[in-house]
Structure 1
Amino acid sequence: MRRILFALFMLPVLYVSALAGDAEIKAAQDTIGAQIEAFKRGDDAAAYGYAAPSIRNIFPTLEMFMSMVTSAYQPVYNPRSYAFGKSEEVGPASVVQQVLIVGPDGKDYEALYTLERQPDGSYKITGVSLKASNSVST
């Protein structure tokens, strides 16, 4: 009987915990999507706003940030399409998110984003690793 009561008590706790994780992942995906959409509409300042303070320290001006993005991250800057892949909460305030991208050249890419929750509760992008994918788009 004790085990049944314990199990009944734990179900809501586990459910709420799963929802919290889903909310974190959704918030991180919203940040990535908002940055990509800002790039697509040419709103570079808005896109820069999704960069974490650590990235802003490395690229302290919008011009420096955009120079890096346009030279090294064309598939992210100008994707034909993108979709979210695997995601993982790697800490209480950190998310890793895979993004599958069809680049402007029609080739497939995989971007691995890292994000951290900021003191204001928002997620900001701390890094992106981009590589050509072995899959084929249709």
Structure 2
Amino acid sequence: MDCSSWFSVEVVRFRGHPNVRATHTTTFEITKENYLTPRGDCIIGVSADKSLADFNDTFKKLAASDRSTLIIVIAVEGVGHDVVVARGSPNLTYSDETRIIVRKSAYTSPNTAGIHASKAAADLNKNLINGLKEGKEGIALFFVYR
């Protein structure tokens, strides 16, 4: 069965960092950067193995529709997981080569993966965040369907 016309998946591997605060109330971010300052209150993971620009073309095409739904499962080694639901938009370009940002608002930019998200960094499971503060490995599974 070929689902590529309405469904796509991307897997992003990353690690936590002692400066993960996860206090931002409107966004969360995963970055390819390998460092994090205490000011990065939306960043939950560093050293990601891909950015939005690396996502496959089918995923990008599907996400660029206001009829699309994104489901993001964030899991941390030995700790657990959390789930975030967001929406796609024709304004999403998936062109940023460093960052992946999910937003509760409707704001879009080259680093935006999804909008109208159900959760931001401050809403994520606290056990998950504590594991990331310890530097544990994480994975984010991005599902998009229309």
Fold similarity call, TM over 0.5:
no
- Which structure's CA Rg is the greater one? 1
Q: Which has the higher contact order (CA 8 A, sep 6+)?
A: 2
Q: TM-score, normalised by structure 1?
A: 0.31
Higher normalized strand content (fraction of residues): 2
Higher normalized helix content (fraction of residues): 1
Q: TM-score, normalised by structure 2?
A: 0.30
